[in-house]
Amino acid sequence: MLIGLLVAALTIAAVYATVLAIRPLVARAGGSPWLSSAGERGRAGLNWLTVRIAAEILILIAGSIVVVTLASIFGEILDEVVDDDDLTAIDRPAVAWLAARRTPRLNVVFAAVTDLGGALMLVAAVAVLAFVVARRLRSRRPVLLALVGLVGIQILVNVIKLVIGRDRPELPGRLVTVSGYSFPSGHAASSLVGFALLAWLTCMVTRNRTVWATAWLSATVGTTAVGLSRVYLGVHYPSDVLGGWMLGLTWLAVLAVATRVHDARASTGGPSR
């Protein structure tokens, strides 16, 4: 598990460094002065095509590496759960430890927190914001992004739950009524994608870096709180939550790559005349 995380961190750092190194070269190729004359339009067209293809390939390669890395980590977690290996050794002790520290006040707080990651709350919040942003930008893209993001993660979670079929923690320790299988945590996966979509949509309508930081930090805190609440309430093991988070990150990365490829194509609509 730790090796997988280390590989992920090194891979993402390497991809980021590669993008930083290549991007100026691509931009320089697209803005060469010797291509500006009318007599060089043929070369300009060829250069534009080269830049466009290079940009799309770079995004696809970098994005694919990130997606595959995240998916591999999720696969490691899944293997640990299926084999009941080292990672799951802390599951029951962690649930028992939190159960022993419950108080009536904390029970109310965590029940409220877990509701934030429920399907009804997330769908309502994301749908409203997506509609507002779509009207503001006069584009259907925010609505499509929200629809694909939320529906996609729900399908992934439900399919994997059925395939793995892991039972939830013992019934006497649960503070809320739930049904279905345990791995991966649907609340953990959906809240990560849902809160990230809220931050993403917010960033579409402002360039204020403070707002950006606040939106993404809030999404991170909210996702963490919802995941912790599922273990506290006794309806999931920690490995369920970790699996849900990693599945959500993987799906979010897929959405980001698809969006970036679309943006790259849109921003290189053709050579200047």
At residue 177, the pLDDT reads 82
Q: How far is CA 100 from CA 91, 110, 173, 178, 182, in A?
A: 14, 15, 10, 21, 21
Contacts of 29 (CB under 8 A, 6+ apart): 47, 50, 51, 54
Which residue is listed with tokens 């750092």?
Answer: 13
Which residue is listed with tokens 């993660």?
Answer: 153
**Which own/partner pairs from 161-169 qualify as long-range (CB within 8 Å, at least 24 positions apart)?**
161/186, 164/78, 164/81, 164/82, 166/81, 166/240, 168/235, 168/236, 169/92, 169/95, 169/234, 169/235, 169/236, 169/237
At residue 33, the pLDDT reads 46
Cβ proximity of 145 and 118 under 8 Å: no
Distance CA 206, CA 185 (A): 32
Say what the pTM is: 0.77
pLDDT along the chain (273 residues), means of 10: 46 50 49 45 50 66 84 92 87 91 92 89 94 93 94 95 92 81 94 96 91 91 94 94 96 90 61 43
